[in-house]
């Protein structure tokens, strides 16, 4: 069984409904390709390794979002919140009609066929009598034991049923609570005692779904291998630059930490390289 980890960034342009109802194909291009350029330039992430996306506020952008993704080579989306179900839902190809109702979070799901694109849906978590999309949005989760029990209960919902990949979706600030981090580490340690549990990225999970291997073959499964040789230009530096640069959008100085050379202006949509 695979456990998917996901972290994302976006500018949170509001109102939230704008992304579903008003954002054009060009807007989706500016947002997602723009951020890919920023990650490539200032974090040394290869463009070909940026394969999927998540819509801001989980506001799926109807066919406009997916037309942009198809046109510019994205492989998967992970924005659609599916209705709570037992067993959970597996990722699916967008070549065919989506296998569930599209009603959560006022979403506008795609209605056309997109061969080659995949959806890694967000299965909601069960938190006592509630369901929630991300761990940090679940109610009444206040102690480390609450965190551990929530994670383990939902892991077992996947592991002991149809073994759909168990997605772990967080906001980075959630880990600032040291007690939550300790509870999460305890969960990770315990589930990895199972010989058939792996922590992988969305893309790695998708590669196994498309090219399934037996448990005995996974140690030699190329997409799941760790890359040991990293080019010097792609390694994290010991002394990154802390850049104080002016933002035309915010009309004030902003800070950017990068191993690359400091830009002239704060990088943003339609000025991803921070040109003067």
Residue 249 to residue 113: CA distance in whole angstroms = 37
> Could you tell me if 157 and 270 lie in one domain?
no
> Could you tell me if 74 and 206 lie in one domain?
yes
Locate all alpha helices (DSSP H) within 80-143, ordered by sequence.
none
**238-252: per-residue pLDDT in tens?**
999 999 999 999 999
> Could you tell me if 212 and 112 lie in one domain?
yes
**187-234: per-residue pLDDT in tens?**
999 999 999 999 999 999 999 999 999 999 998 999 998 877 788 878
Q: How far apart are the first and last CA of the chain?
A: 49
Residue 244 phi/psi, 5° resolution? Answer: -100, 105
pLDDT of residue 12: 62
> Could you tell me if 207 and 274 lie in one domain?
no
**57-100: per-residue pLDDT in tens?**
999 999 999 999 999 999 999 999 999 999 999 999 999 999 99
CATH of the domain at 158: 3.20.20
Task: Using a pLDDT cut of 90, give the percent of the chain over it.
Answer: 78
Say how many C-beta atoms besides its own lie within 10 A of residue 200's C-beta.
17
CA–CA distance from 244 to each of 54, 164, 196, 275 (Å)?
Answer: 29, 45, 47, 14
> Could you tell me if 268 and 161 lie in one domain?
no
Give the residue from 268, 249, 266 showing the smallest Cα distance to 257: 266
> Could you tell me if 161 and 84 lie in one domain?
yes
> Could you tell me if 208 and 264 lie in one domain?
no
Domain of 246? 236-276
**144-168: per-residue pLDDT in tens?**
999 999 999 999 999 999 999 999 9
pLDDT of residue 8: 47
The total of structural domains in the chain comes to 2
> Could you tell me if 127 and 251 lie in one domain?
no
pLDDT of residue 60: 95
**66, 108 contact by CB (below 8 A):** no
Domain final position from 214, 232, 250: 232
> Could you tell me if 178 and 247 lie in one domain?
no
Backbone CA torsion sign across 45, 48, 52, 57: positive
pLDDT of residue 185: 96
> Could you tell me if 163 and 265 lie in one domain?
no
**31-54: per-residue pLDDT in tens?**
999 999 999 999 999 999 999 999
> Could you tell me if 228 and 250 lie in one domain?
no
> Could you tell me if 206 and 119 lie in one domain?
yes
pLDDT band at 7 (very low <50, low <70, confident <90, very high): very low
Q: What is the mean pLDDT of the chain?
A: 91
């Amino acid at each position: 069984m695979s456990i998917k980890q996901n972290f994302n960034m976006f500018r949170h342009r509001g109102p939230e409904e704008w992304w579903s109802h008003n954002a054009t194909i060009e807007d989706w291009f500016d947002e997602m390709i723009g951020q890919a350029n920023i990650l490539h330039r200032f974090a040394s992430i290869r463009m070909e390794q940026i394969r999927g996306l998540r819509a801001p506020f989980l506001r799926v952008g109807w066919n406009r979002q997916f037309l942009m993704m198809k046109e510019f080579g994205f492989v998967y989306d992970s924005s659609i919140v599916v209705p709570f179900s037992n067993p959970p839902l597996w990722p699916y190809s967008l070549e065919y009609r989506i296998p569930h109702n599209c009603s959560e979070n006022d979403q506008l799901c795609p209605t056309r066929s997109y061969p080659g694109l995949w959806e890694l849906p967000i299965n909601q978590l069960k938190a006592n009598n509630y369901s929630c999309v991300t761990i940090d949005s679940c109610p009444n989760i206040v102690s480390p034991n609450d965190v551990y029990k929530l994670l383990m209960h939902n892991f077992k919902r996947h592991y002991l049923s149809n073994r759909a990949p168990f997605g772990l979706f967080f906001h980075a600030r959630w880990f600032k609570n040291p007690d939550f981090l300790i509870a999460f580490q305890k969960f990770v340690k315990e589930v990895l005692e199972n010989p058939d549990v792996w922590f992988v990225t969305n893309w790695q999970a998708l590669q196994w779904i498309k090219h399934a291997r037996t448990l005995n073959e996974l140690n030699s499964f190329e997409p799941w291998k760790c890359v040991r040789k990293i080019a010097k230009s792609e390694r994290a530096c010991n002394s990154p630059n802390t850049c104080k640069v002016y933002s035309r959008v915010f009309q004030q100085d902003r800070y950017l930490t990068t191993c690359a050379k400091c830009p002239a202006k704060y990088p943003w949509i339609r000025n991803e390289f921070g040109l003067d």
